[in-house]
Chain A
Amino acid sequence: MTVARFWRNIPNRYNLIGTHCTTCGEHYFPPRQMCPICRRDGKIEPHKFEGKGEVITYTVIHTAAKGYEMQAPYNLAVIKLDEGPSLTGQVVCGQEEMEIGMRVRSVFRKLGEESEKGMIYYGTKFVPE
């Protein structure tokens, strides 16, 4: 991912800033600029999420994504935030600790890197609450 493409979403990635539709009250993370419920009647504002939620489902990835080879095996989960929306993120803990329904909270971590001289991606991961 190029510098500009990553940089554009830094507030969202570092601080879990998503959006909120004030017309229907729905929260969105990843951020959306068009509310799927209200569409053009929706009014979208930024919303900072608390970063707490619950693991809906998870996997332990052994064959890693490109740029994540050094981290394998790693835990990947769908996490439902307390404000409503769900996101995909890594959970930093032993794989035997992982279970559906476990409570987690967000932490600021390095996500991955392109190469020794390339971009380093920082963002949000989760740990058991």
Chain B
Amino acid sequence: MRDVAIIGIGCTKFGELWDHSFRDLFVEAGVSAIEDSGIQGEEIDSLYVGNMSGGRFVEQEHIGSLIADYAGLASTLNVPATRVEAACASGGLALRQAILSVASGYDNVVVAAGAEKMTDVGMNTATDALAAAADREWEGIMGATFPGLYAMIARLHMHKHGTTSEQLAAASVKNHHNGTMNPIAQFRNEITIDTVLNSNMVADPLHMFDCSPISDGASAVVVVAADIAKKYTDTPVYVKAATQASAPISLHDRADITTLDSSVVAGQRAYKMAGMTPDDIDMVEVHDCFTIAEICAIEDLGFFKKGDGGRATEAGETAIGGRIPVNTSGGLKACGHPVGATGIKQAVEITEQLRGNAGKRQIDGAEVGMTHNVGGSGGTAVVHILSRNR
């Protein structure tokens, strides 16, 4: 296997982008990644696209062709484009597939993109499309919603480990604070613990401010063989691990409902592949679709002991300047969660950090970062470790 590097990144603003269409978004993200990398369209060997539910959100399938076409890569260059899907982990999957195709030697220059346009349908349809990430026949039809499934994780975490609503809220407050410093973030306002606790109950014990929003957005990265990376940039970011794991799709089939086994295994595989431990990671972008998901993630990835995530978050250990900064981008909660784009945006944020370009969010001396992208309630997890050093 060959070493792989990220040489270009691009991201649209995330939010309710009424004046942007699905195709506007991915063209904008793709063009900015390609411009950032300095490659020419003729050099692109293939394209991987993460998109969860074009069929439900914009009544459009065959996303690969559409993106290649409107990015100007189909009519004369005929670049192969492949859509991959794993619910909210679709973006992470697209990045991993792009890395694998370069690592294998099959391709030299690949664009990994993620895009989702979620606000062209009403809230009811959007919620139902997201519910398709769970088992429709044995969870959805019983009245389960995504906040409901994560609420059941939260309830048990509170029962077993003494986690409190205030500790969950602390993750949301911290992510909103980080979002104020990120120009692409959907929400750039500070909130307080009371903002979270006084917001509407969605699924007890999760309030509206425990939940990530419905968002539009797209992101893209350019990955190349590490041997040619320096030809394009002085600051390539090297891929040290790209791992993925499956687990039972339904919450009710997990051995421990407060642990996402797919996160644990993808994390362990990543540490092994990179020859690293959690202590080597300078900052991590985790999948905080709900506040409890961030608490579980920082435990499952080995940064904190199971049950300690809430207390650590409340104590500021995951803030910028803390022991392990988590979600410097604002995370899914504040930066926004256009589902297919999220996994790529996480890599964009880590690349900004490793290049030293993250502005007020910058982690001093950042050398190694991690991304963690989850599909559904944990049926899929994808982890990447990225480094300044090859």
Contact = CB atoms under 8 A, between A and B. Distances in A.
B252 to A, nearest CB: 4
B269 to A, nearest CB: 20
Interface in B239-261: 250-253, 257
B275 interface: no
A4 interface: no
B127 A66 contact: yes
Nearest to A111: B141
A55 B152 CA distance: 11
Nearest to A63: B202
Interface residues of A, number: 34
A128 B182 CA distance: 49
B137 interface: yes
Interface string A65-107: 1101001001011110000011111100001000010000000
A30 interface: yes
Interface string B121-164: 00011011001000111111111110110011101100100000
Given A57-B257, A63-B145, A64-B143, A87 B152 contact: no
B252 A78 contact: yes
B373 to A, nearest CB: 24
A48 interface: no
Contact of B131 (A5, A57, A65, A79): A65
B280 interface: no
B201 interface: yes
B42 interface: no
B257 A61 contact: no
A78 B257 contact: yes
B152 A77 contact: yes
Contacts of A88: 138-139, 142, 144, 250-252
Interface string A13-34: 0000000000000000010000
A59 B155 contact: yes
Contacts of B145: 61, 63-65
A76 B138 contact: no
A56 interface: yes
B61 interface: no
Interface in B253-283: 253, 257
B144 A76 contact: yes
B203 interface: yes
B137 A65 contact: no
B203 A112 contact: no
A60 interface: yes
Query: Which of B125, B131, B142, B251 has the largest number of chain A CB atoms within 10 A?
Result: B142
Contacts of A1: 136-137, 141
Nearest to A68: B143
A58 B143 CA distance: 12
A58 B141 contact: no
A119 to B, nearest CB: 11
Interface string A25-52: 0000010000000000000000000000
A17 B201 CA distance: 35
Contacts of A65: 127-128, 131, 140, 143-145, 148
B200 interface: yes
B204 interface: yes
A63 B155 contact: no
Interface string B194-215: 0000001111111000000000
Contacts of A79: 252
Contact of B143 (A74, A78, A85, A87): A74
A95 B203 CA distance: 12
A70 to B, nearest CB: 11
A42 B252 CA distance: 22
Contacts of B137: 1, 5, 9, 30
A61 B147 CA distance: 8
A71 to B, nearest CB: 7
B20 to A, nearest CB: 26
Contact of A58 (B128, B155, B201, B253): B155
A78 B202 contact: no
A87 B144 CA distance: 12
Interface of B: 124-125, 127-128, 131, 135-145, 147-148, 151-153, 155-156, 159, 200-206, 250-253, 257
Closest 3 CB pairs of A and B: A59-B151, A57-B156, A86-B252
25 contacts: A57-B155, A58-B152, A58-B155, A59-B152, A60-B204, A62-B201, A62-B204, A63-B200, A63-B203, A64-B143, A65-B140, A65-B143, A65-B148, A66-B125, A68-B143, A74-B143, A76-B203, A85-B253, A87-B138, A88-B138, A88-B142, A88-B252, A100-B156, A111-B141, A111-B143
Interface of A: 1, 5, 9, 30, 56-66, 68, 71, 74, 76-79, 85-90, 95, 100, 111-112, 121, 123
